[in-house]
Amino acid sequence: MSPMPKSGRMSAAAVALALSLTAIEAPAQEATRSAPADFTAMVEEKLPAVVGIRSTGPSPQTSAGGMPGMPPGMPGMPPGFDDFFGDQMPRQPQGPMRSQGSGFIISADGYVVTNNHVVADAEQVQVVLDDEREYDAEVIGTDPATDIALLKIDAEEDLPTVEWGSSDDLKIGQWVVAIGNPFGLGGTVTAGIVSARSRDINSGPYDDFIQTDAAINSGNSGGPLFNAPGEVVGVNTAIFSPSGGNVGIGFAVPSAVAQRIVEDLREDGSVERGWLGVQIQSIDDALAEALDLADTTGVLVSDATAGGPAAEAGLQAGDVIVSVAGEDVSDPRGLTFAVADLPVGEPVAVTYLRDGERQEAEVTLGERPDMGMSTDPAAPEQDALPDGPTIGVAIQPVTPQLRSEMGLPSDLEGLAVASVDPESPAAEAGLRQGDVIVQAAGQPVPDVAALREAAAAAEEEGEPLLLRIYRDGGYAFRAVTFPENAAD
């Protein structure tokens, strides 16, 4: 399912190298699925429509860490994931940042698709064709959430183009070909297979990547991933690389996602997504027991944004969403995708569980606001903290001073976690230093005594203790299961 709404820096001159791969045998399959004896004919036809991207931006304030010539990964990327935004020139601390990437032409009048991170914050963008012609490019629009950008160049004549294919039809093991501009070596061709589909690499809420072992490296960002017939089925975007180089694990935005984003950018210059205004999480067995649910199906609302669409329709923290617009949702990813595909301003039916009862609300979707990165709050000092309750945490009430030190909202009340015993029920439930416990068993916890009382009651009743916590700018539920209540 696509999560969509409606419808390196480079050396002074680009080096264009037309490469082809030959003698790659594949088992006989149906025509649209099988690989040819080699890819020369397809590459010769499609190579002219693959371009290099040069972008120039303001001078960086600090040098990037990690392997020389490799920048840090895109915001939100977990360790080991890198973009391919290569660096072919020595760093010049006082000079402009010159970067490189790849792209492909989708229309004869000069629309070019690439990655957002290739052109983000650029003051000047140039497109270099396979025949070494260079054009200044206008950034028509970008979508950081999916890392897609659309550019426009004005040429004297019609330009060669590529066509979109169906990523939904891709099968694991099917041949794919990547063409791009790694390390400034334009027109570089590599081949591999589809290693996996619908990969979530925790870079954002709309992760739905194609994984491939086709060799892709620094500078391949924004380049096309072709199927054997020569249709674009993905936009190369990220690699998993502990060393900074290709290790055979690359990721591409599926064409089913990218094509719809590009259409929106071309029409409106931006992407509009439906927004419920809730923070959500998956439901594990402990949470299901604490919430008295029959199973783990559905999505738990950990917070409903004040004044947001869901809150205005009556949804609240602790509700479990089971369907949207008549479509069942079983996990947070599915809910995020489903809502993003719905039109802003239109009412949709949201079915949810509250206190074991099935209810329905009509929610008029808003537009999803820009997503920012939150920073980890500082943990409170551990000097002279009171002993924690039996769940295994050391805590203290949130005071104005602590609020300021930890960067917490001015109206946040609760108990700050200073430390967690690694062998405790709290650790098993996922609590960590810096969390703020705001509710226990559905009730506020203004002081240590309130938390101890709730924990003691849960132990006595043989039930998990349901906690609502504040972490990194958002809310989540955790279910603390005491040893005597744990499953054998």
Q: Which domains does the chain have, with CATH numbers?
A: 15-268 (2.40.10.120), 274-367 (2.30.42.10), 393-485 (2.30.42.10)
Q: Residues 6 or more apart from 56 whose CB is under 8 A from it?
A: 96, 97, 98, 99, 122, 123, 124, 125
Report whether 184 belongs to an annotated binding site.
no
Query: Terminus-to-terminus CA distance in the chain, angstroms?
Result: 38
Q: Please tell me the predicted confidence (pLDDT) of residue 83.
A: 44
Instruction: Give the DSSP H or E segment for 163.
Output: none
Q: Please tell me the predicted confidence (pLDDT) of residue 229.
A: 93
DSSP H helical ranges for 55-176: 116-119
Side chain identity at residue 213, one-letter code: D
Q: Residues 6 or more apart from 469 whose CB is under 8 A from it?
A: 431, 435, 436, 437, 438, 475, 476, 477, 478
Report whether 219 belongs to an annotated binding site.
yes
Q: How many whole angstroms separate alpha carbon 224 and alpha carbon 260?
A: 16
Average pLDDT, the chain: 79
The half-sphere exposure of 464 on its side-chain side, counting CA atoms within 13 A, is 24
Report whether 473 belongs to an annotated binding site.
no
Could you tell me if residue 343 is left (phi over 0), alpha (psi between -120 and 50 degrees) or otherwise beta?
Answer: beta
Q: Give the closest residue to 207 by CA, choosing from 52, 81, 305, 363.
A: 81
Number of H helices, E strands in the chain: 9, 29
Q: Please tell me the predicted confidence (pLDDT) of residue 106.
A: 97
Q: Give the closest residue to 221 by CA, choosing from 23, 82, 93.
A: 82
Instruction: Give the DSSP H or E segment for 334.
Output: helix 332-340
Q: Please tell me the predicted confidence (pLDDT) of residue 390.
A: 65
Both tokens of residue 15? 């080096």
What is the CB neighbour count within 10 angstroms for residue 356?
A: 10
User: Would you call 257 helix, strand, or coil by DSSP?
Assistant: helix
Sign of the C-alpha dihedral, residues 363, 369, 371, 374? negative
- Bridge-based pairing of strands 15-16 and 185-186 is parallel
Both tokens of residue 383? 């000097």
Backbone phi and psi for residue 457, each to the nearest 5 degrees, phi listed first: -65, -40
Residue spans of the chain under pLDDT 70? 1-36, 59-97, 202-204, 241-246, 370-390, 484-488
Q: Residues 6 or more apart from 233 whose CB is under 8 A from it?
A: 165, 166, 167, 170, 176, 210, 225, 226, 227, 252, 254, 255
Global confidence as pTM: 0.65
Report whether 38 belongs to an annotated binding site.
no
Could you confirm whether 147 is annotated as catalytic?
Answer: yes
Could you confirm whether 370 is annotated as catalytic?
Answer: no
Q: Please tell me the predicted confidence (pLDDT) of residue 5.
A: 47
**Four-point Cα dihedral 48, 88, 218, 370, nearest 10:** -100
* C-alpha radius of gyration, the chain, whole number: 26
The one catalytic residue in 221, 241, 255, 302 is 221
User: Which residue matches tokens 């088992």?
Assistant: 27
Side chain identity at residue 449, one-letter code: A
382 contacts 394 by C-beta, under 8 angstroms: yes
User: Would you call 98 helix, strand, or coil by DSSP?
Assistant: strand
The one catalytic residue in 55, 117, 195, 303 is 117
Instruction: Give the DSSP H or E segment for 443.
Output: strand 443-444
Q: Please tell me the predicted confidence (pLDDT) of residue 19.
A: 26
- Determine the distance from the C-alpha atom of residue 195 to the mean position of all C-alpha atoms in its chain, rounded to a whole number: 19
Both tokens of residue 133? 């012609």
Q: Please tell me the predicted confidence (pLDDT) of residue 73.
A: 40
What is the CB neighbour count within 10 angstroms for residue 37?
A: 11
Q: How many whole angstroms separate alpha carbon 71 and alpha carbon 378?
A: 26
Longest dimension (CA), the chain: 80
Could you confirm whether 117 is annotated as catalytic?
Answer: yes
Side chain identity at residue 48, one-letter code: P
Could you tell me how many residues make up the chain? 488
The one catalytic residue in 143, 147, 303, 341 is 147
Report whether 282 belongs to an annotated binding site.
no
Distances (CA, A) of 324 to 152, 338, 339: 37, 7, 7
